[in-house]
Amino acid sequence: MYSEGEYVIYGMNGVCRVNGITTLDFKDVPKDLEYYVLFSENNGGKIYVPVDIGESNMRRVITKAEAEELITKMPLIEPIIVDNEKLAEEAYKKCFRCFDCTEWIRLIKYIYHRKQQRLSSGKKITATDEKYMHMAEDALYSELGIALDIPKEQVLDYILKELEFMK
């Protein structure tokens, strides 16, 4: 069970803070069913998640030690493989829905490489690539920001500094 004040990843909502556990007083809702009250760090909204369902759809935000280890391993993480460009978006969705930092890094690396190839041949990044790159970066930087106790906007600079330090 998650505790009040704890940060979790909850599906497409990304990083959420557990604000408590409550029951709901609505018609046709069992009075004994407990809900996590989550506060979405992304959109500031409240989310009510049944405790029994939430356990399978949520995970704790990685720890500071795990975040630091992940950053040191970033150069070794291979990008995703997309065999068929027409099915790229499906591969992106599958990767993103894992809700896993390593998978988000793999996705970012693939799209970044693809973007560089397109730019070098005089083409723009596709709207789909841009959308999933933004989603993956936002998810990754949000989680790392919480784990490292720094603002999300400073995470990329932190990563680059750490990787440069390792050289």
Is residue 112 located within the same domain as residue 153? yes
CATH code of the domain containing 128: 1.20.58
Is residue 147 located within the same domain as residue 70? yes
Diameter of the chain measured on Cα atoms: 61
For residue 85, the model assigns a pLDDT of: 83
d(CA 60, CA 54): 11
Question: In the structure encoding, which two tokens stand for residue 156, read together?
Answer: 């990329």
Is residue 50 located within the same domain as residue 98? no
Overall average pLDDT of the 140-162 stretch: 96
Is residue 79 located within the same domain as residue 123? yes
H or E stretch including 38? Answer: strand 34-40
Question: In the structure encoding, which two tokens stand for residue 88, read together?
Answer: 């790229």
Looking at per-residue confidence, does 42 or 149 come out higher?
149
152: helix, strand or coil: helix
d(CA 34, CA 54): 10
H or E stretch including 15? Answer: strand 15-23
Q: Of 31, 60, 89, which marks where a domain is finished? A: 60
Looking at per-residue confidence, does 1 or 144 come out higher?
144
Determine, yes or no, domain membership for 78.
Answer: yes
For 13, the domain range is 7-60
Number of domains in the chain: 2
CA–CA–CA angle 79, 93, 35 (5° rounding) = 120
In this model, does residue 109 exceed pLDDT 90?
A: yes
Please say whether the dihedral angle defined by the alpha carbons of residues 23, 25, 29 and 30, taken in this order, is positive or negative: positive
Is residue 128 located within the same domain as residue 106? yes
123: helix, strand or coil: coil
Is residue 52 located within the same domain as residue 102? no
Is residue 82 located within the same domain as residue 155? yes
d(CA 78, CA 113): 11
In this model, does residue 112 exceed pLDDT 80?
A: yes
